Structures are given as structure tokens and as C-alpha cells.
Amino acid sequence: MPYYLVDKDLDLSSKLGKKLSTNDMVGASYTTTAEQCIRMVNGKLVFWNYYCQRGRYAFINRTRLTLVDFELIISQDAATTDDLELVTCGQKSFRVNSSFLQEVERLKQSGSALKGNGKALSNSGP
């Protein structure tokens, strides 16, 4: 799955305990699977239904490119439907040179390959 360049960090952890909307994920590349587990609550077995979203995105802040891999657990139980229950993120940041930043800006201006929402970063280049 490629990293997609978004305009800014999606800050997924700030959405814990809230309902996640599609606007919260604009530009990110991810897959969603429905899952179920069994938990013991007050001595009784309880089924817990949830969605697991796994994906990635990238963003640039000044001269730093950050690549983010994430996993989200979204409740599908009646009382907490669509609440974000768990966020797991891993990220790598590194400095990029001015020619890379100029190329990204050029591509954004031309409406070509890297224009935020839904455009993949290439693995080629310096």
C-alpha cells in the first residue's frame, strides 16, 4: 500500500472516544475489515464487534517528510457505534532537500501526481 501525501498530519489520536468521519481520513490510504472478539464481562461472555482500519499517509512540515502507518479500532457495539476506541501509529520522519520540496510544489501547482488527496508518493528519487 503506498503512502499518500496529505496536507497536514491527520492527528488520529486526538479523535479517541469520538465518532470518526470520512473527512477525518481524507487523503489516507487504508483498508477496513469487520472483526469480532469475545470478552468476559461480569462472568459472562460478551461479543464485541468492531472495524479495524489499517493504512498509511505522508505529510510535509517545513523540510521534514513524515511517513505514518496506522491501525484504528472502531466500535460497532450498540452503545458506542463508530467511536474510535484504539489508535496505533508508527512514523518515520526525515529531512528532505530543497529540490524535493520544489518538485512537490511544482506537482501540486500543476494538479499532477502529488496533489494532496489521494496521490501516492513515488519510491524513486534521491
Scanning the structure block, which residue is given the C-alpha cell 517528510? Answer: 65
pTM of the model: 0.80
97 burial (CB, 10 Å; 0-12 / 13-18 / 19+) is exposed
Can you count the helices (H) and strands (E) in the chain? 1, 4
Where residue 116 falls among pLDDT bands split at 50, 70, 90?
very low
Q: Which helix (H) or strand (E) holds 9?
A: none
Q: Any idea which of 27-31, 36-40, 104-108, 115-119 has the lowest mean pLDDT?
A: 115-119
Can you tell me the mean pLDDT for 81-108? 92
Helix, strand or coil for residue 112?
Answer: coil
Q: Any idea which of 17-26, 29-38, 58-67, 115-124 has the lowest mean pLDDT?
A: 115-124
